[in-house]
Amino acid sequence: MMRLLSPCLEINERGRLAISGCDAVELAGQYGTPLYVMSEDEVRRVCKSYVQSFQKFYGGHGRPIYASKAFSCKEIYRIVVSEGLDVEVVSGGELYTALQAGVLPQHIHFQGNNKSAGEIAFAVENGVGDIVVDSFSELRLVERIAEGNNAVVNISLRIKPGIDAHTHDFIRTGQIDSKFGIDLASGEALEAVRQSLSLEHVSLKGLHCHIGSQIFEVEPFVHAAEVMLELFGQIKSQFGVELEHLNLGGGFGVRYTQRDDALPYERYMEAVSQMVHKKCKDLGLDQPEIYIEPGRSVVAEAGITLYTVGAIKEIPGVRNYVSIDGGMFENPRYALYQADYTCLLANKANAPADYIATVAGKCCESGDLIQEHTPIQRPEEGDILAVLTTGAYNYSMASNYNRNPRPACVMVSQGESRIIIKGETYEDLVRNDV
Ligand code: LLP
């Protein structure tokens, strides 16, 4: 029997895939397919483990921040905030959603490499607690907008620490050749600190870095903490200022397939905290508040997507296309990154996965695939195909390509299910057409 990837998944007594006590085939029948399903229990379990790690390794002197680009809707903000996390947003739209969900502005961190004046004004007017400034031009813009609002705005600076973590090129961000952040090695970072300290309407509270995403090694995170704290030391000696917080970003790897060797998150926390304690001692620094900013690891393994199998085309000596009623419009990650996924037939979850399938979407495009040459149970039209670990960067990256409506999202917990995002209708698709 295959090993399921997340603790919220099991094969029930009917031999079917179940998520947090809900039978996946019944969910598909009740809500229709394609359908995103998200386990509240699993999201809360991960949030708790992060919060507990901060207690254990930093005496609670710090906090996890949920990077909501992974999955943004009102209910997820309510859930993570109720577990004691802050939230990170990267656009006016995510900020608006978080505020609508009732997140207190002081718990919001606003990232992004090219925030518009309108977005910054929106954040300043709403009293967002931390604007993470990404460039010199943004620093000037924030100062100008804060001045216009008669406000002093808390900021941090996003620094490029020059660390090259092993992951897909498009999701690496900490190296020098990156559109994100202010460069450390060339001295730009210290210059940005100098300028920030001289401005009247911004108050520099901390520094931020993020080295990439879907990273399995501990070492790059430890190294980032070391490099960033050395910068804290330089800031103290040059400007006589000790900053209040250090945000070490997100990027912790999750299991898409059994080959992914994801570490328990506590291991990153432990290793990084050892470096933080050591460096602060060596440099005579008060330990700043430590933030981390996980997105994927909070929601990815909590989510699955359910589809109905349609046409099956077996091309001898070539491949077997198994078509589903979704595709790159609700999960573009294979088309974009050749991302690995585990697929199975939810209604035959106990049967051997001895059929090699290419799972194809319904978009008019050959590259519209969910997975190639992947083992699943022997498929028939009408089967319910589940793709695992789709809680992150699926709904949030979905589109209306080919005017397909985005599917609904159902939240499950202890055998109960509820809609948290309604499926789009054809009416929704023409709403803004003139
Ligand atoms: N903080 C910052 C500043 C980030 O840029 C990101 C991700 C995170 C936190 C959260 O990283 P996570 O814990 O989720 O790895 N669309 C891609 C992932 C892009 C990640 C971008 N930044 C994907 O589907 O794999």
- pLDDT for 144-198, tens place per residue? 999 999 999 999 999 999 887 765 555 556 666 788 999 999 999 999 999 999 9
Name the residue of 110, 293, 338 whose CB sits within 8 Å of the most ligand 1 atoms, as the mutation to test its pocket. Answer: 293
Q: Does 3-39+300-430 match 111-294 in CATH topology?
A: no
| Residue tagged 């085309």 (tokens) | 313
The pLDDT value recorded for residue 169 is: 58
Closest CA to 21 of 29, 12, 31: 12
Residue nearest to ligand 1 atom 15, measured at CA: 251
Q: 3-39+300-430 sits in which CATH class?
A: mainly beta
Atom of ligand 1 nearest to the CA of 333: 24
> In the chain, where are the structural domains located?
3-39+300-430, 111-294
Q: What is the mean pLDDT of residues 16-29?
A: 98
Q: What is the mean pLDDT of residues 15-27?
A: 98
Assess contact for 129 and 106: CB atoms under 8 A.
Answer: yes
Whether the predicted pLDDT of 305 surpasses 70: yes
Rounded to the nearest angstrom, the distance between the alpha carbon of 401 and the centre of ligand 1 is 23
Atom of ligand 1 nearest to the CA of 297: 13
Rounded to the nearest angstrom, the distance between the alpha carbon of 311 and the centre of ligand 1 is 35
Name the residue of 76, 213, 215 whose CB sits within 8 Å of the most ligand 1 atoms, as the mutation to test its pocket. Answer: 213
Those residues whose C-beta lies under 8 Å from the C-beta of residue 168, and which sit 6 or more positions away, are 214, 337
- pLDDT for 385-425, tens place per residue? 999 999 999 999 999 999 999 999 999 999 999 999 999 99
Q: 111-294 sits in which CATH class?
A: alpha beta
Pocket of ligand 1 from Cβ distances under 6 Å: 67, 69-70, 88, 111, 171, 173, 210, 213-214, 249-252, 293-297, 333, 393
Assess whether 8 carries a catalytic annotation: no
Rounded to the nearest angstrom, the distance between the alpha carbon of 210 and the centre of ligand 1 is 9
Name the residue of 50, 63, 69, 370 whose CB sits within 8 Å of the most ligand 1 atoms, as the mutation to test its pocket. Answer: 69
Residue nearest to ligand 1 atom 3, measured at CA: 210
Residue 38, strand partner residues: 303, 411
- Per residue, the 3-state secondary structure of 307-334, as one string, reads EEEEEEEEECCCEEEEEECCCCCCCCHH
- pLDDT for 327-380, tens place per residue? 999 999 999 999 999 999 999 999 999 999 999 999 999 999 999 999 999 999
Three-state DSSP state, 17:
strand
Atom of ligand 1 nearest to the CA of 251: 15
Those residues whose C-beta lies under 8 Å from the C-beta of residue 358, and which sit 6 or more positions away, are 319, 320, 321, 322, 369, 371, 372, 373, 374
Atom of ligand 1 nearest to the CA of 396: 16
Atom of ligand 1 nearest to the CA of 250: 13
Query: What is the average pLDDT value for the chain, to the nearest integer?
Result: 96
Three-state DSSP state, 433:
coil
Q: Cβ atoms within 10 A of the Cβ of 59, count?
A: 10
- pLDDT for 104-157, tens place per residue? 999 999 999 999 999 999 999 999 999 999 999 999 999 999 999 999 999 999
The pLDDT value recorded for residue 176 is: 67
Element at 156 (helix H, strand E)? strand 153-160
Assess contact for 246 and 233: CB atoms under 8 A.
Answer: no
Closest CA to 141 of 196, 210, 71, 214: 196
314 burial level (CB within 10 Å; 0-12, 13-18, 19+): exposed
Those residues whose C-beta lies under 8 Å from the C-beta of residue 108, and which sit 6 or more positions away, are 86, 87, 88, 89, 95, 98, 99, 123, 128, 129, 130
| Residue tagged 């006589």 (tokens) | 240
Residue nearest to ligand 1 atom 6, measured at CA: 250
- Reading the block at residue 199, the tokens are 């401005």
Rounded to the nearest angstrom, the distance between the alpha carbon of 384 and the centre of ligand 1 is 30
Share of the chain above pLDDT 70, in %: 97
For residues 434 and 425, give the distance between their C-alpha atoms in angstroms, rounded to a whole number.
17
Whether the predicted pLDDT of 1 surpasses 50: no
195 burial level (CB within 10 Å; 0-12, 13-18, 19+): middle
Residue 417, strand partner residues: 412
Rounded to the nearest angstrom, the distance between the alpha carbon of 416 and the centre of ligand 1 is 30
Residue nearest to ligand 1 atom 24, measured at CA: 393
Residue nearest to ligand 1 atom 7, measured at CA: 213
Assess contact for 284 and 234: CB atoms under 8 A.
Answer: no
Q: How many CA atoms lie within 13 A of 400 on its CB side?
A: 11
- Reading the block at residue 418, the tokens are 């509820």
The pLDDT value recorded for residue 167 is: 59
Rounded to the nearest angstrom, the distance between the alpha carbon of 332 and the centre of ligand 1 is 15
Whether the predicted pLDDT of 3 surpasses 80: no
Q: What is the mean pLDDT of residues 4-22?
A: 97
Q: Cβ atoms within 10 A of the Cβ of 118, count?
A: 10
Residue nearest to ligand 1 atom 21, measured at CA: 171
Which of the residues 22, 280, 343, 364 is marked catalytic?
Answer: 364
- pLDDT for 92-114, tens place per residue? 999 999 999 999 999 999 999 99
Residue 89, strand partner residues: 110
Rounded to the nearest angstrom, the distance between the alpha carbon of 177 and the centre of ligand 1 is 17
Q: State how far the alpha carbon of 361 is from the alpha carbons of 52, 88, 326, 364, 370, in Å.
A: 41, 32, 5, 9, 7
Three-state DSSP state, 376:
strand
Rounded to the nearest angstrom, the distance between the alpha carbon of 297 and the centre of ligand 1 is 10
Residue nearest to ligand 1 atom 23, measured at CA: 393
